[in-house]
Amino acid sequence: MLDPDAQPPLAGITVLEVGAFMAAPFATMQLADLGATVLKIEAPGAGDPVRATGPFVEGHSSPFARLNRNKRSVVLDLKSDAGREALLRLAASADVLVENLRPGAMRKLGLDHESVRSAAPHLVYASASGWGQDGPLAPLPGLDIMAQARGGLMSITGTPDGEPTKVGVPICDLVCALYVALAVTAALRERDRTGLGQYIDVSLLEAGVSFAVWEAGRYFATGEVGRPLGSAHQSSAPYQAVRTADGHVTLGAVTPKTWAGLCGVLGLTSLQDDPRYADAFTRHAHREALVAEIEDVTRGWTSAELVRALDGAGVPCAPIADYADVFTDEHLNRRGYFWDAEHPVLGPVRQLGSPMRFSRTPAVQGAAGPLLGEGTADALRAVGYSENEITELTARGSVAPPDARDREDPA
């Protein structure tokens, strides 16, 4: 039962984000959703490059307003001595710093873990990068598609003999971010025992390789290398999309009960006595012949008819939804997954909900992505800067207040 007086799980934790695009911002969004105060450190002028990524509404980036919800924007020029000093003072009173600059960039600024640790030995410092902080690839730029390529994901995605295909979302960026958030929460728990922070190194490459559970099981056992299988499972069948009269339906009948249910629905009970289809692994070895027999029947059904019949028989299945279907889905709406975050210019901004549901302390539903620099003065005041010092730093360009353009009435 939700407790209206309970604080979010990470209430009282302050996180500094020195990030851009995806990995660090998505990681800190998770922490902000859990109640951490996230100060998003941005460069003067343009800020996070995602602010310049469309589509735009009233001149504001729609992706930015979602990816950076529940955060405060603090504009510091980290190339200036005063800007670096401000970050060190913020770090001394913060709990976590998350960055995803190229390895070596924070060291050049004098803001790497070793430099910051002397001012903040309690700080949990996490770096997300393409290839990790050491090793021969470390100096190279690494984007999500490169991590999917080097990490093997593109070798098993798509259809046999098809063009190289990446996963449809930036999966290495996103899972790297989730590992960062998990590692940060674990390091905070360890700090409760020791009082000490530590350094966390998470790469897109290793995050992507960590998905290869089935592929590793096969390769290290038999030496067999995984290949693209379209929508099919790596070792069990039937577990894939099958054709219908008006599209496709995904189904998974890999247990004895669901296999019998599928055969019953489709009128293919004779398949249960076929030794080629004795179990899910054997069926996979004869998958092409099996799926051809299944599709001879399912091509005569509409997707809706097939889903209805399989649901009735307890066979796992689902239609293939596009995102117009997903973003208006009755089940998700009934569960209150989508919610609206307020933005000072755009008004309500529809958000993707947090998948983490807590019985007492729900995820935070606060504001949409912040205006550039809107939290700068408050953050500096909180670590002891006077009004005169803030004014002087602003005049020198070391920090920046909110961009006046962000506050203009769009009307």
Alpha helices in 109-235 (DSSP H): 113-117, 144-150, 153-156, 171-194, 204-209, 213-222
Rounded CA separation 374/408 (Å): 14
- Whole-angstrom CA distances from 14 to 23, 146, 250, 406 are 18, 32, 43, 25
Rounded CA separation 260/56 (Å): 51
Q: What are phi and psi of 348, to 5 degrees?
A: -65, 130
Nearest to 369 by CA among 10, 47, 11, 128: 47
Q: Do 202 and 124 touch, CB atoms closer than 8 A?
A: no
Determine whether 173 is an active site residue: yes
Rounded CA separation 37/300 (Å): 55
Q: Which helix (H) or strand (E) holds 294?
A: helix 287-298
Based on its alpha-carbon atoms, the radius of gyration of the chain, rounded to whole angstroms, reads 25
3-state SS of 3-29?
CCCCCCCCCCCEEEEECCCCHHHHHHH
Kindly give the pairing relationship between strand 239-244 and strand 247-252: antiparallel
Catalytic pick from 77, 95, 144, 173? 173
Residue 268's beta-bridge partner residues?
none
Examine residue 238 and say whether the peptide bond preceding it is cis (omega within 30 degrees of 0).
yes
Residues labelled catalytic? 173
